[in-house]
Amino acid sequence: MAQNSIFALLLRSPWWVSGGIALVIALIAVAIVPRQYVIYGIFTGMPFMIVSVIALRRQWGKPSQARVAEILKTVRAMAWRDFSVEIENALKRDGFEVTRIDLPEADFSISSQGRTALVSCKRWKAASTGVEPLRELVKAKEARGAHDCFYITSGDFTQNAMQFAVENKMRLVHGEGLAKLLRKMKTEKAA
């Protein structure tokens, strides 16, 4: 699908936009199409209804852009102790067994369904994260025999860091992903 086609744009828009278009098409069909052909007019809006359902499914459970910005702003203003408590609580809420570990490369060891992962989030305020901290986390993962590793930050990752993460099957949690993890966190506006 072309990136700027009407359906691609609608998939990136709130789900109710497509649903509204489908409803408007149906109402116009009822108003102006001869009675025996109304059903065909209503079904003309079906592609928009399908896009609406797909968009709803994609957007379900995702925080709004305003909520993402609010959470990131709050996170960047937090002290390490408070941030680590929020991360620990969020991981526990998501079903992980969480153990704090005292390693320079990792902050938590989490486990679920027999799989263990290391989580690093000490550099949560960094505006941009490069390859080196990811490389250190991978070494710690291998040394401890963990299956996976997660790197959490409120900033972004360099292109090289993202490529390194893909090559080493790391999970990078930032931006919308961090906001989703901390979805229950109280912020100034939410408080």
pLDDT of residue 83 exceeding 90, the answer is yes
Q: Give the start-to-end residue ranges of the domains of the chain.
A: 6-59, 65-181
Lowest mean pLDDT among 54-63, 114-123, 134-143, 164-173: 54-63
pTM over cut 0.85: no
Per DSSP, helices labelled H in the chain are: 6-12, 15-32, 38-43, 46-59, 65-77, 80-93, 131-144, 159-167, 176-181
Q: Residue 14: what pLDDT?
A: 87
Question: Would you put residue 113 in left (φ > 0), alpha (ψ -120 to 50) or beta?
Answer: left
pLDDT of residue 163 exceeding 90, the answer is yes
As given in the structure block, the two tokens for residue 135 are 């490389």
Q: Residue 191: what pLDDT?
A: 43
User: Looking at residues 152-176, what average pLDDT do you find?
Assistant: 94
Report d(CA 92, CA 125) in Å as an integer. Answer: 22
Domain 65-181 top-level CATH class: alpha beta
Q: Residue 190: what pLDDT?
A: 46
**Exposed/middle/buried for residue 169 (C-beta within 10 Å: 0-12, 13-18, 19+):** exposed
Per-residue DSSP letters for 117-156? EEEE-TTTT-SEE-HHHHHHHHHHHHHHT-SEEEEE-SSE
Q: Residue 59: what pLDDT?
A: 80
Report d(CA 42, CA 37) in Å as an integer. Answer: 9
- 129 with 123: CB under 8 angstroms? yes
SS3 at position 99: strand
As given in the structure block, the two tokens for residue 90 are 């969020």
pLDDT of residue 1 exceeding 70, the answer is no
Report d(CA 31, CA 33) in Å as an integer. Answer: 6
Q: What is the mean pLDDT of the chain?
A: 90
User: Looking at residues 151-174, what average pLDDT do you find?
Assistant: 95
- Give, in order, the Cα–Cα distances in Å from 174 to each of 35, 148, 150, 178, 179: 54, 17, 10, 5, 8
Q: Which residue has the higher pLDDT, 64 or 45?
A: 45
